[in-house]
Amino acid sequence: MNRGQDVIRILMVCLGNICRSPMAEFVMKDMIEKEHLGDRFYVASAATSTEEIGNPVHRGTREKLKEYGISTAGKHAVQLSRKDYDQYNYLIGMEQRNVTNMLRILGGDPEGKVKRLLDFSPHPRDIADPWYTGDFDRTYDDVYEGCKALLTYILEQENERNYR
């Protein structure tokens, strides 16, 4: 695929890094593994706030992912930092408010790396926060849609680069 190029690094971001962004991190990792592309990607997640730093993934996210055989074991909330901008190819917020906070923390987006996850789908929108809705099923459906669209986009971009 990449003909020896660097690993593609993706950082999923939400407010607390206990619900949506870890869900997106682990769904994306699962998709990548099922496509046998694990050696080509590095995926992580982070928070824009400090409220949940050090806390494990929310029970609702853990239970929803368990239904699909996906574990979040060992994941604890970490905060986004300015240095993450240089370390990742894609910095993906779950909603517009995340993107706004990400740009503040990162000091801007000169390379166009910051997007919402569902901006890659045919129906761009925010991913509802299950912290408030309690609806982890809807969040999972949105996250799955966004991860699939993002992975498709990245693979298409890589294929174009390889044929130039």
State yes or no: is 129 an active-site residue: yes
CATH of domain 8-159: 3.40.50.2300
Q: According to the model, what pLDDT value does residue 27 have?
A: 98
State yes or no: is 147 an active-site residue: no
How far is the C-alpha of 75 from the C-alpha of 54, rounded, in Å? Answer: 9
| Each residue's pLDDT expressed in tens, for the chain with a length of 164 residues | 334 458 999 999 999 999 999 999 999 999 999 999 999 999 999 999 999 999 999 999 999 999 999 999 999 999 999 999 999 999 999 999 999 999 999 999 999 999 999 999 999 999 989 988 899 999 999 999 999 999 999 999 988 777 76
Helices (H), 4-129: 20-34, 59-66, 84-87, 96-106
Active site residue: 30, 84, 129, 142, which one? 129
What is the b/e burial string over 27-47, where b = at least 16 CB atoms within 10 angstroms of the residue's CB? bbbbbbeeeebeebbbbbbbb
Domain assignments of the chain as residue spans, ordered by start = 8-159
First to last CA, the chain: 13
Q: According to the model, what pLDDT value does residue 1 have?
A: 39
Q: According to the model, what pLDDT value does residue 164 have?
A: 64
Active site residue: 20, 30, 62, 142, which one? 20
pTM of the full predicted structure? 0.94
How far is the C-alpha of 117 from the C-alpha of 30, rounded, in Å? Answer: 16
Which of 18, 97, 100, 117 has the alpha carbon at shortest distance from 65? Answer: 18
What is the b/e burial string over 129-152, where b = at least 16 CB atoms within 10 angstroms of the residue's CB? bbbeeeebeebbebbbbbbebbbe
Q: Is the dihedral of CA 38, 158, 84, 113 positive or negative?
A: negative
Q: According to the model, what pLDDT value does residue 118 have?
A: 98
Which of 146, 155, 158, 113 has the alpha carbon at shortest distance from 11? Answer: 113
Q: According to the model, what pLDDT value does residue 5 have?
A: 57
The answer to whether 83 and 52 have CB atoms below 8 angstroms apart is: no
